[in-house]
Structure 1
Amino acid sequence: MQRYRELSALGRIAFVTFHESYSYEEFIEGLRPQQGLSDGDAAQAGFSLQAEPGLLLRIAKRAMSVVRSDVAPLSLAERRIFKMSIGEAANPEEDYLLEESLAGGYVLLGWGNQIDFSRPEFAERDPILKAAREHYAQYVPDREISNQSGYVKYPYAFRNRVREGDILVISRGNSRFRAIAEVKGPYEYQPRDTDEYANRRKVRWLWQDREGVPVEEIYPRGFSMGSLYELARSDLNLAALEQYAGAGHANLSAASAEQPFVLVIDEINRANISRVFGELITLIESDKRLGAREERKVTLPYSKIEFGLPSNLHIVGTMNTADRSIALLDTALRRRFEFRELMPRSDRLADASEETGIDLVRLLDVLNDRIEYLLDRDHQIGHAYLIGCDSKADVDERMRNRIIPLLQEYFYEDLAKVRRLLGEGFIETTKLDPFGGGDDEGEQERIRYRVRASFDQEAYDKLTA
């Protein structure tokens, strides 16, 4: 479990349980209402419907962004991490700013564009405040410019607080991030024709995704308004961020070097598979993955982006063979998966047998032999029902509250069959007396069946004999 938790923290394992109401919008992508997409200090009025990736898209993007296993991951130790905005995410006319930054190897700040902050005196906050009041007082006549004004705090942070080697996470609104960069140079002032975004710093781009990835992948708190601020390390998923930051030179064609990602779908047969997978049902085939000989991509209906599944994403579905809905499993899904039967492993109970003094290995084998005789092999009981038992009291509790109720369900509450399977040590009988003074001659004898109040050692001995 420790390794599972480590991989989950890295985002390399995802787990979901399908159910009847599970939908395409949750698994692939759907439209979600969002209040504006402003990257600045002021929230935009109203809301819009934005395409949000579902579970499969999120882990697929992580798999496509993964650093190769033969490349040392980028360490974020001793580095500060800042959230930064480049342009307004809600304004398509400013998309060029990110593209220019990616191509030029720098980041741009849109505050204080009329002032060259490279002069030595701007290493302190007060000169920046004074210069901002001289240049921008006309733009904010209703209030005085202070140290908390964007004209002051963002240029100060961009010039002085951000150091070489720090990490910048470029946001797309407050719900996604779309690039990661390492700061490689000091503040520079480069005037532009538009008199905007004249402040820049050289960076090395580590990762990018124009559509963006949900911020919860690396920062569960979510972003807040503000063009530039430091993220709290205690709230960051540093392991996941390192995966993204180290992914800039990933080579997905080198299959031997790929790090595997796994999506586990529990109860895969309980959802409407055709409705949940939609057009992506074709993409899960091995020869249709990215880089395969018959690579396929589809255009997603809401985001309109082209999408394919990477070869290092493995999808594992589980189902209970006793579930009647298995017979209705979608044929299209059947031919796209390998099916491997995992039968009960009674040998896994050897340690528990020693702890409890009950031969649980033999007990499980006997139970399943009798279940197969009375029903079929698909209804056998798994070893998980008895794993973790440390005493006879634990076994009694599992028998009373889990195994016997399951058997009652199997046999439609017919305790006579449950008694035949387990023995009289678990199910007691009482003969019911006739009543009413009538002539009961020829009537069938009536028996009451009831689970015993306690199970003695002899009951287990007889069952495992």
Structure 2
Amino acid sequence: MNIFFGKIKKERKDQVAKLIYESDEGWDGFGGLNEGDYVFLLCDGKVHLWKAMNYDSALKARTFECVLESIGKQSFFFSHIKYFKLTMDLVVKSHRQTHQAFFKIDYEPEFTEEMLCNRDTYKADSGLFRRVFIRNSKATVEQNSYDVQLFFDEGNLKLAELKNSDGSFTDGFKDNLSYAGKGREKKDQTIAFVLDKTNQEKPFAYNSKLNASKIYDAFMVDYNAKEEAPVEDDELDFDELIVDNEAFDSQVNLLKYKQNVVLQGAPGTGKTYATAALALSIVSPTFKNFDNHQKVMAEYEKCLMKIDEDGYVSNDGQIAFVTFHQSMDYEDFVEGIKPICDEESDGETKISYQIQSGIFKAICHKAKTQESSNFESAYAELVKKLQEDGYVGYEKYLILDSGNEKSKSKFGISLNKKGNLTLWTGTKEDDLHHQGTLTRENMVRELSGETVFQSWKGYFQGVVKYLKKEYKLSSSKKTENKNYVLIIDEINRGNVSKIFGELISLLEADKRDGAEHPLKVTLPYSKEQFSVPSNLYIIGTMNTTDRSVGSIDYAVRRRFAFVTLKANEDAVDSYYNGNKNLGEIAKAKFNDVKNFLESPDVVAPDVDFDDLMVGHSYFMAKTEDELKMKWEYEVLPLLREYKKDGLLRRSASLKEFDDFNYHFQKKVVGKTPAEESR
């Protein structure tokens, strides 16, 4: 018998009535759930016991049979059943939003199927649930007990070990009693309850006042008191607010299918965060903390590529970021001829020209490279030697053997200002002439088996041969083909057709390298054969209110899937959980803007409401002063700009928002503008 717990968002509670969970059949969010498994299903604060049935392809949903309806009311119901192993995962995942929807529960064999399916089992006096005790000394703690026991030992509050627990729940317990009253409202409520009930040898069943999740929040997380913050930081984070798990899974599946996606929406709808989360879903398949904003952004930073001005990727990053603008063109994005300035031995500046890769060509080459090597460390040793021995600039060069075994010819290399190798060729070793530049990027490509310049192949091979001999350069086939993501911010601010040029035809999934109908083109400057790899994904962002730039043409549009991110009132509501007064003000502002834009004869006829509705992030603030500043200096100017740009009808009046602004000042600050000026 397998037991799971699962969650359905209250906005989709119609699925509870239908006894289904809508999702793709192979979706990993099912967590291994199979036909015949039992599920404690949480929706809209109620707990039901279901049994998994078959997957219905027509409905695109897993079907269930209802065994028991409404057997509990709280999400922390699961963490207090004593036969379920109490772990930190069980506590956190049962009352926080998560990317995964179903989780398997470890349980003791004493919990039989007959007990599971009997409604009487879940009565408060059945003995099923762990109780909570607050003991006045260590001596009164009951050993080997299922119950949660807080106790005092030499004046310090501690948590006793529990039966049927992996230890993760008791590890890291902190005595935060001394922080009482220092600014964390919910923590303070739990601490006050503990202090009030101290020395009362009375157990508490799981309840809203004291339970495993309350103990976790109050005593297992740093208090981090800040007088100006009335609620906990983790409740004011975007982590559990903006990520709609079902919508996110749909976006991930769409990106995997189409490979090119544009996230579009009004300002403040979460496009930046969504691109980071989507990118991680592609490049880091083992990453699961999509409901934690800080962890997502930290992992995203670790995965970013470092690309130098020569188009060389100097780290193992898998995500590249670029912002389109009106001055960007093909030469910046794909490849172009760039001037190189070097100082001659006589002090004069020598200008030469070389082909440099843009970010798109660089990430494509990185994605196609199937070799892993110690090139970076070996090349660093070569650079060190060239610097120490004076082979820098145009004064002298290091003689190497060509990689062509038949010719036995010699050539020279020296180090230029950018860390690449200046190539010297000729018939006499003591009178070689400057020929061009051997870049690190092209050496890596030659090392992986590509031919960059056929006529220079011997020179590249000569450097590689020297690195192998002197600095133990080695390479091997990659064990796995990594995925890569290119994020194009503000994609509509550039001339997309001009920037991509002929490569626009290669973006389609079936035209990629190794796909069903692969295409290659000859690049105009390097003359090399070029294709887009199948393990590269492109995510663009687009501000739907920006009419100062041209729209994306049909040729580009049909190669991308477009996803609209909308302003989410539920995100605003969840953000202020525990700070209702400020939350009511913020929601009032959100709804006033919404009602205004939905009013007849306000929005221009060629504009959709979702293109203009100010995003939820504009209404999220930790203090009243911050919310006031966002309204006055971000929201109102944006609405005025809408009207100026013709997105609102000329007849649309913003005067009521001036009144609303005054009302905001009166409600939050408590003074009229005239009173404030005194």
Distance in 1 between the 2:560 and 2:379 partners?
44
Q: Supply the AA of the counterpart residue of 1:97.
A: S
For 1:52 and 1:74, locate their aligned partners in 2 and report how far apart those are by CA, in whole Å.
23
In the comparison of the two structures, how many residue pairs are matched?
A: 301
Distance in 1 (alpha carbons) for counterparts of 2:378 and 2:551: 53
| 1:351 pairs with 2:575 | yes
| Counterpart secondary structure, 1:46 | strand
State the Cα distance separating 1:28 from its structure 2 match.
0.8
1:14 aligned residue: 320
- What is the Cα deviation at residue 348 of structure 1? 2.8
Kindly indicate whether residue 629 of structure 2 is the aligned counterpart of residue 397 of structure 1. yes
Determine if the alignment matches structure 1 residue 47 to structure 2 residue 354: no
Instruction: For residues 62-100 of structure 1, give each alpha carbon's deviation from its aligned partner in whole angstroms, at most 9, with x where no partner exists.
Output: 111266xxxxx7789999942369999x9xxx9982466
- 2:593 aligns with one of 364, 367, 370: 367
CA distance in 1, matches of 2:549, 2:562: 12
CA shift in 2, pair 1:369/1:246, >3 Å: farther
Which digits, 9 at most, give the CA deviation of each residue in 1:256-291, with x for residues without a partner?
Answer: x53221111112112122211111010111111100
The match for 1:301 is 524
Shift of 1:427: 4.6
Counterpart amino acid of 1:351? Y
Q: Do the aligned partners of 2:485 and 2:537 also contact (CA within 8 Å) in 1?
A: yes
Question: 1:174-193: per-residue Cα shift (whole Å, max 9, x none)?
Answer: 75344469xxxxxxxxxxxx
Match of 2:659 in 1: 424
Q: State the AA in 1 paired with 2:302.
A: E
Look up the SS of the partner of 2:570 in the other structure.
helix
- Determine if the alignment matches structure 1 residue 65 to structure 2 residue 369: yes
Structure 2 residue runs without a partner (length 5+) = 1-296, 306-315, 414-429, 454-465, 468-472, 671-678
Residue 211 of structure 1: how far off its partner (Å): 4.0
Q: Is structure 2 residue 509 aligned with structure 1 residue 286? A: yes
Offset, 1:344: 1.7
For residue 560 of structure 2, give the secondary structure of its aligned residue in structure 1: coil
Contact 1:262 1:314 in 2 (8 A): yes
Q: 1:261 to 1:34 in 2, by over 3 A?
A: same
Aligned to 1:456: 667
TM-score, structure 2 length as denominator? Answer: 0.38
Aligned partner of 1:386 in structure 2 is 619
Matches of 1:79 and 1:295, distance apart in 2: 35
8 Å Cα contact 2:367-2:483 kept in structure 1: yes
After superposition, the Cα gap between the structure-2 partners of 1:365 and 1:15, relative to the gap in structure 1 and judged at 3 Å, is: farther
Aligned counterpart, 2:207: none
In the aligned structure 1, how far is the partner of 2:439 from the partner of 2:346?
15
In the alignment, which residue of structure 2 is the partner of 1:83?
Answer: 382
Contact 1:261–1:314 (CA under 8 A) maintained in structure 2: yes
Confirm or deny: 8 A CA contact 2:568 2:616 kept in the other structure.
Answer: yes
Distance (Å, rounded) in 1 between the aligned partners of 2:631 and 2:618: 9
- CA deviation profile, 1:351-393 (whole Å, cap 9, x unmatched): 2464572233564244224223331412111123234x21111
1:97 equivalent in alignment to 2:395: no
Q: For the residues of structure 1 that align with 2:336 and 2:655, how far apart are their CA atoms?
A: 51
Q: Does the 8 A contact of 2:510 with 2:516 survive in 1? A: yes
In structure 2, relative to structure 1, the CA distance for the partners of 1:37 and 1:273 (3 Å cut) is: farther
Any gaps of 5 or more consecutive residues in structure 1?
A: 68-72, 102-107, 112-138, 141-171, 182-204, 213-226, 229-244, 252-256, 429-451, 460-465
Do the aligned partners of residues 289 and 248 (structure 1) sit closer, same or farther apart at CA in structure 2, a change above 3 Å counting?
farther
**CA contact 2:330–2:498 (8 Å) conserved in 1:** yes
Distance 2:300 2:377 in 1: 27
1:146 counterpart residue number = none
- Residue 176 (structure 1) aligned with residue 176 (structure 2): no
CA distance in structure 2 between the aligned counterparts of 1:408 and 1:372, rounded to whole angstroms: 16
1:272–1:177 CA distance, 2 compared to 1 (3 A): closer
Structure 2 letter corresponding to 1:357: L
- Report the 3-state secondary structure (helix = DSSP H, G, I; strand = E; otherwise coil) of the residue aligned with 2:488: strand
Letter in 1 for 2:633: N
Aligned-partner Cα distance in 1 for 2:669–2:641: 26
User: Which of 244, 248, 260 is equivalent to 2:483?
Assistant: 260
The correspondence of residues 117-128 of structure 1 with structure 2, limited to 5 A, is none
Aligned pairs for 1:193-204 within 5 A: none
Q: Give the CA deviation at 1:36.
A: 6.4
- SS of structure 2 residue aligned to 1:292: coil
User: SS of 1:26's equivalent?
Assistant: helix
Whose RCO is larger (CA < 8 A, sep 6+)? 1
Match of 1:332 in 2: 555
For 1:25-40, what aligned pairs fall within 5 Å after superposition?
A: 25-35=331-341
> 2 CA distance for matches of 1:293 and 1:66?
20
Q: 1:128 maps to which residue? A: none
Cα distance change, pair 425–337 in 1 and its aligned pair in 2 (3 A): closer
Residues 11 and 62, structure 1, Cα contact 8 Å, conserved in 2 = no
Shift, 1:323, TM fit: 2.5
The corresponding residue for 2:423 is none
Structure 2 CA distance for partners of 1:386 and 1:175, relative to 1, 3 Å? farther
1:140-168 Cα deviation digits (max 9, x unpaired): 9xxxxxxxxxxxxxxxxxxxxxxxxxxxx
SS in 1 for 2:653: helix
Compared CA separation, residues 338 and 246, structure 1 to 2 (3 A): farther
For the 8 Å contact 1:66–1:247, the answer to whether it is kept is no
Q: Give the aligned partner of residue 155 of structure 1.
A: none
Is 2:499 the partner of 1:276?
Answer: yes
RMSD: 4.6
User: Superposition pairs for residues 400-415 of structure 1, below 5 Å?
Assistant: 400-412=632-644
Look up the match of 2:40.
none
Q: SS in structure 2 opposite 1:264?
A: strand
Structure 1 stretches of at least 4 aligned residues deviating more than 6 Å after TM superposition: 41-45, 73-80, 85-88, 108-111, 413-416
Taking the aligned partners of 1:427 and 1:416, their CA distance within structure 2 comes to: 19
The percentage of aligned residue pairs carrying the same residue is 31
Contact 1:297 1:308 in 2 (8 A): yes
Secondary structure in structure 2 of the residue aligned to 1:426: helix
Contact 2:400/2:411 (8 A) holds in 1 = no
| Equivalent-residue separation in structure 2 for 1:396 and 1:417 (angstroms) | 22
Cα distance in 2, alignment partners of residues 338 and 273 from structure 1: 15
- Report SS of the residue matched to 2:514: coil
Give me the TM-score of the superposition, normalised by structure 1. 0.54
